[in-house]
Amino acid sequence: MTFFAHRHPLMRVTLGDSSKRISSLCLDLILNFIMTKFRIILIILGALVVLTLPVVYFLSQSRNIPVSHAAVRLILGQTPDYRLSLRTLAVENAYSSDYQLAIPTGHYNVKIMGETGAGFFSGKISKNLVRYPADEIDVKGERATRPDLLVEPLGEIVLLLPYYPRAKKIVFFDENNVEKMQVDLTKVTLPKDYSKKLCGNGICDSNENILFCYQDCRPK
């Protein structure tokens, strides 16, 4: 009895230390499990962000691309002193022009702008009718003089501008960048007969490629 009486306190200490070690080991296992799961979640979230960013960028950029085979038809009136007025505004099934040619005989700068002032499109349109008179020939059959060009304001200006769904206005400026006119685009929409299925029309449109519309975009 004396022998067990002396050893019993030591046994209690040993059992207590073992239980603490087991508790500490279980706690370490739980923490390691949580940290492993947390790292996995972070890796998954990072991968989702990396995969999502290009998609978001593509979608945001695609909204800034003009609609294929749709054009804003504008007919402007112009007075002899170069005052503009709007006669016709509509969106129709047509191809637009880029209006990027240099115009040395007088032009307007045209800009298509969004709600925050972001520019979707810019170009130049002629504001004058230019006539090239025939050269004057003398009695010897030689050119005597070259008459000056005859330049006069156009009475009517017809435009086919690209259609941007997010565009809010068209602004016209003169050569000195002085604003001449604004046209509101918030009430114009695609025509009811507009067809998004353009594949097969013989033209490789901006939203088509050789994979999804081979017949239009194949090498010729």
Q: State the pLDDT at residue 2.
A: 45
Q: State the pLDDT at residue 116.
A: 81
Token match 């008179």: residue?
133
Specify burial of residue 37 (Cβ count, 10 A radius: 0-12, 13-18, 19+). exposed
Check if the beta carbon of residue 148 is closer than 8 Å to that of residue 58: no
Check if the beta carbon of residue 203 is closer than 8 Å to that of residue 215: no
Banded model confidence at residue 138, pLDDT cuts 50, 70, 90: low
| 81: DSSP letter | T
Ranges 1-10, 75-84, 155-164, 201-210: which has the least confidence: 1-10
Residue range 80-90: average pLDDT? 95
Q: Tell me the C-alpha distance between 46 and 43, whole Å.
A: 5
DSSP annotation string for 99-162: --S--TT-EEEEEEE-TTS-EEEEEEEE-EEEE-PPPEE-TTSSEEE-PPPEEEE-SEEEEEEE
Instruction: Report the amino acid identity of residue 45.
Output: L
Q: State the pLDDT at residue 131.
A: 82
Q: State the pLDDT at residue 130.
A: 86
Q: State the pLDDT at residue 136.
A: 63
Residues 6+ apart with CB under 8 A from 167: 112, 113, 114, 120, 185
Quote the distance between the C-alpha of residue 26 and its chain's center. Answer: 56
Instruction: Check residue 106 and give left, alpha or beta (phi > 0: left; psi -120 to 50: alpha).
Output: left
Higher pLDDT, 157 or 5: 157
Residue range 166-183: average pLDDT? 94
- For the chain, the farthest-separated pair of C-alpha atoms sits apart, in whole angstroms, at 152
Residues 6+ apart with CB under 8 A from 15: none
For the cut 50, the answer to whether the pLDDT of residue 30 exceeds it is yes
Higher pLDDT, 159 or 19: 159
Residue range 12-24: average pLDDT? 64
For the cut 80, the answer to whether the pLDDT of residue 96 exceeds it is yes
Instruction: Report the predicted TM-score, pTM, of the whole model to 2 decimal places.
Output: 0.62
Q: State the pLDDT at residue 77.
A: 96
Banded model confidence at residue 4, pLDDT cuts 50, 70, 90: very low
Residue range 24-48: average pLDDT? 81
Helix (H, G, I), strand (E, B) or coil at 29: helix
